[in-house]
Amino acid sequence: MAEAGADWLHVDVMDGHFVPNLTIGPDVVRAIRPVTDRPFDVHLMVSPVDPWISRFVEAGADVLTVHVEAGPHLHRSLEAVRAAGVQAGVTLNPGTSIETVRPVLHMVDLVLVMSVNPGFGGQSFLPEAIGRVAALRDMAGDRPVRIEVDGGISAETVGALAAAGADTFVAGSALFRGGPSAYRENIRVLRAAAEAAAG
């Protein structure tokens, strides 16, 4: 993906408990870390989350994103991420109020808006995410906070999200369509649509 033009590599970590799927752990992140110098954006879809923070940082994460819904002490979890020396992100499921991040917005580098319910690829984009992005961008004000969106990202959805204030996009199906020979063009199309809409 780096060779095709991806800026970051998004790593979905699922525990089969917080979400109904099971994916990779710290050992896999550690194994792929030497392959690229692109930042690893590690999205922890696990609960409880705190025991995993240091393990993924040691494995090579550059950004660690934790879910509002993954535990009772979001502030404590974000403190642990920052203390580990990596960028901190907070994630919102579609059914979670954006107000839940207001008390911790000063602690994060990134807010990840889920535009599908987490756990599976290939889901349809939830259009209400556009309004949530706009409200979060307004809430962030002049803070240097990235607004990232994950789920159903395509050439058809990325423009409206960029216009609403999103600046970071996680693409799965739209990126992998057509196989490895198409990755560079798929990224170019997504980037062009986002940049045109953002102005």
The residues annotated with a catalytic role in the active site are: 12, 150
Angle (CA) 64-75-89 rounded to 5° is 25
Beta-carbon contacts of 195 under 8 Å, excluding residues fewer than 6 positions away, are: 162
Classified as helix, coil or strand, 73 is coil
- Contact between 198 and 159 under an 8 Å Cβ cutoff? The reply is no
Angle at 169 between CA 168 and CA 172, to 5 degrees: 155
Residue entry with tokens 């692109």: 38
Can you tell me whether residue 157 is helix, strand or coil?
Answer: coil
Rounded CA gap, 41 and 61, in Å?
7
Strand order in the sheet with 146-150: 9-14, 40-45, 63-67, 87-92, 110-114, 146-150, 168-170
- Candidates 120, 124, 49; CA nearest to 88 is 49
